[in-house]
Amino acid sequence: MAETLTLAATHGARTDRAADPASPLAVRGLTVSYGDKPALFSVDATFPAGAMSAIVGPNGAGKSTFLKAALGLIPAVSGEVRVFGQGLAAARDRIAYVPQRASVDWDFPTTVIDVVLMGRYRRLGLFRRVSRAERAAATDALARVGMEGFADRQIGQLSGGQQQRVFLARALAQEADLYLLDEPFAGVDAATERAIIDVLKALKSQGQSVIAVHHDLSTVAEYFDHVFLVNVRAMGEGPVATAFTPEALARTYGGRLAATQLDQLRLTGA
Amino acid sequence: MEAVLAALTLQAGYNAALVTLGAALLGFAAGTAGTFLFLRKRALVSDAMAHATLPGVGLAFLVMVALGGEGRSLFGLLVGSALSALAGLLLVDGITRRTRLAEDAAIGAVLSVFFGAGVVLLTIIQTLDRGRQAGLESFLLGSTAGMLFEDAVLIAAGGATVVALIWLLRRPMTLVAFDPGYAAATGVDTRRIDLAMMGLVMAVTVIGLKLVGLILIVALLIIPAVTARFWTDRVERVLWTAGGIGAAAGYTGAALSASAPSLPTGPIIVLLAAGLFTGSLLLSPGRGVLAAVLSRRRFQARVHRRQGLLALARSEPIHDPLTLRLLRAEGLIRPDGVATDKGRAQAAKIARDERRWDVAREVHQDTALTGRYDGLTPIEEVFTPDEIAGFDARLGPPHPVGG
């Protein structure tokens, strides 16, 4: 397991470990920049299949950028992304993405069930009508996040936690193998956090892979199996037990973590 | 009046009837295409594009005259206007993407420069003694005068094609308008969908030039969509309602203009659509101004009533005139401010609910249910009767409220 602890000194051209073809997401030498300042520089990361992985790092460290670049939503200056050993285009159908809920206008004229049905649009193509089976799949996805009673609600009437659940239901409706979530627990109530983590654990138990940008260090060990630490450069990756250490966190956050936070993590056995 | 009625009922001659129907179809196409423009928050881009058509009209006229024609073929003029609208659109896009200027600045620059160039070109054309330039200025404000059978057919066929394409692309366009990031992640080429949307808007603009005019076509694109938004919370209904509003405005506007040929069509259509918009703004049940005022009033009354009853329950004096008026109107207090039997009963119930809430918040500390403790939500809406009975068991018997 020692070699999975990638250190800051690593660069894109690593050869000591071949890309695992079964890895749901493997990134090599990924560099993304806004203007002249790299948001990510030469980042390598390999995520394990059938596990829950967290992407952890300080604000502005490029966590969301990493997800977006891995999905091809923003252009990369360099680097390679493999999803289940394939190129992005070939693997599109196997990926479901849950963006930050603040990224859309919730006054948009649509209902909860119609948002979830958006997860089926790719199957429907341009011509097919929304069949009863499609509607049933969307309703089922809503039930899994505990929102079946909200199907016809206008989305502007939802609370923050309910919005997040609807976004998760839309991803579930895609029936994908890899779920990429951007800060799914940001600003949601405790009950929603519980509901979401239960859904994600159920996905994992069915062999699916979950990768989430996560900002709450105190729950990393409880929720996740694998962690990827990033702050512009890759700062470490591996099983939570071995890679999520106070030393690795201090390296990732620089001086930005209070000593008490690190002590707390030490006490919880991370 | 008779002429207007004849035009509205399509009795004002074959050509006029055709033009009126063409305008209705154009209005439908504009309303639907404009819906996605509005939802994507790109309304002003279409204004830049519409103004950018003018130099194309002038240049197309000059080219056709140079080739030995009269320069009056509507199709030729529309091709010219489409090319220069495209140039304007690409320029806005290019400025926004390649410089640090925001889109609004790019729109302002492109709109004024293209329009200025177009006005200069038309002025030069007026001084030429070749070709038949009369009528070119009707592209500014629109006119039904002098419309040929072929022109009406062109407008109707163009409008129908646009509507068909919008129906076909409604799902990806909805997805891109709502959540472009997610759309791209599921493999939708958002740039191509955006281009298709702008292309459809451009088609509406170009085929609407002769009838509505380039200055006001943006109103026919946007007003129906924002009007429809007042009446429904679902994309598909906004889409077809906007189409209907656009069709109604186009139909009536063209009929009125045809019955009084000196009236420009564009302003009439815009005024009709604006009338519908104003009515919706005031009267819409969910989002209208009137509904908002009424619901604020109702809410205020609920708060005052509740606070008044709580004050009665605690035997505190009430000074607020609105609270006193509400309680008196319901017969909960006498004119001199003393609680009636009915008032005492309701105050006792409210005092009890407050104590039930205290228990509930202790029992359900860790759940979202206690988030409904806002002073107004009836406890019966949050907890089931057996749960409330459980709270009561901890509270003991009810206390009467003294007058």
CATH of B2-274, one of 2.40.30.10, 1.20.1070.10, 1.10.1740.10, 1.10.3470.10: 1.10.3470.10
Angle B184-B82-B78 from CA coordinates, rounded to 5° = 145
* DSSP-assigned letter for residue A27: E
Query: Is A164 domain-assigned?
Result: no
- Looking at the DSSP assignment, which residues form a beta bridge with residue A128? none
Rounded to a whole number, what is the distance in Å from the CA of A54 to chain B's nearest CA?
A: 20
Q: Which of A81, A118, A163 to mutate to test the interface with B (most CBs of B within 10 A)?
A: A118
| Domain assignment present for A148 | no
Q: Could you tell me if the ipTM is greater than 0.90? A: no
Using CB atoms within 10 A of its CB, is residue B92 exposed (0-12), middle (13-18) or buried (19+)? Answer: buried
Cα separation of B344 and B311, whole Å?
A: 11
Query: Nearest chain B Cα to A181, which residue?
Result: B182
Q: What is the CATH number of the domain that holds A15?
A: 3.40.50.300
Tokens of B315: 């035997």
CA distance B84 to chain A (A): 31
The CA distance from B147 to the nearest CA of chain A, in Å, is 37
Contacts of B184 in chain A (CB under 8 A): 71-73
- Domain boundaries defined on chain B: 2-274, 290-395
Say if residues A128 and A84 touch (Cβ distance below 8 Å). no
Residue A124 with chain B: CB contacts under 8 Å: 171
Chain A residues inside the 8 Å CB shell of B284: none
Q: Is residue A215 part of a domain?
A: yes
B100 touches chain A (CB under 8 A): no
Residue B156 CA, chain-centre distance (Å), reads 24
Cβ within 8 Å, pair B186-A73? no
Specify whether the CB–CB gap between A200 and A211 falls below 8 A.
no
User: Measured between CB atoms, does B374 come within 8 Å of chain A?
Assistant: no
Cβ neighbours of A103 (radius 10 Å):
13
Alpha helical stretches, state H, B260-288: 265-283
Chain-chain contact of B182 with A118 (C-beta, under 8 angstroms):
yes
A·B CB contacts under 8 A = 77
Q: Domain range for residue A238?
A: 2-104+176-267
Of A109, A124, A180, the CB nearest to B234: A109
Number of domains chain A is built from: 1
Does residue A40 lie within any of the structural domains?
yes
Residues B89 and B195 sit within 8 Å (Cβ to Cβ): no
Tens digit of each residue's pLDDT (9 = 90 or more) over A158-175: 888 899 999 999 999 999
Q: What is the pLDDT along chain B (403 residues), one digit of tens a residue?
A: 677 777 777 777 777 788 888 899 999 999 999 999 999 998 888 899 999 999 999 999 999 988 887 777 888 899 999 999 999 999 998 998 888 888 899 999 999 999 999 999 999 888 887 666 667 888 888 887 777 788 888 888 999 999 999 999 999 999 999 999 999 999 999 999 999 999 999 999 999 888 888 888 988 999 999 999 999 999 999 999 999 999 999 999 888 888 876 788 888 888 999 999 999 999 998 888 899 999 999 999 999 998 899 898 888 888 888 999 999 998 889 888 888 899 899 898 888 888 888 888 887 776 666 677 777 888 887 788 888 888 888 887 766 655 4
What phi and psi, each to the nearest 5 degrees, are found at residue B233?
Answer: -110, 20
**Cross-chain CB nearest to A121 (options B175, B184, B238):** B175
Residue of B42, B97, B166, B186 to mutate when probing chain A, most A C-beta within 10 A: B186
**Cβ-contact B139, B210 below 8 angstroms:** yes
Cβ of A109 within 8 Å of Cβ of B233? The answer is yes
- Which residues are paired to A27 by β-bridges? A45, A81
- Nearest 10 degrees: Cα torsion A117, A119, A123, A124: 30
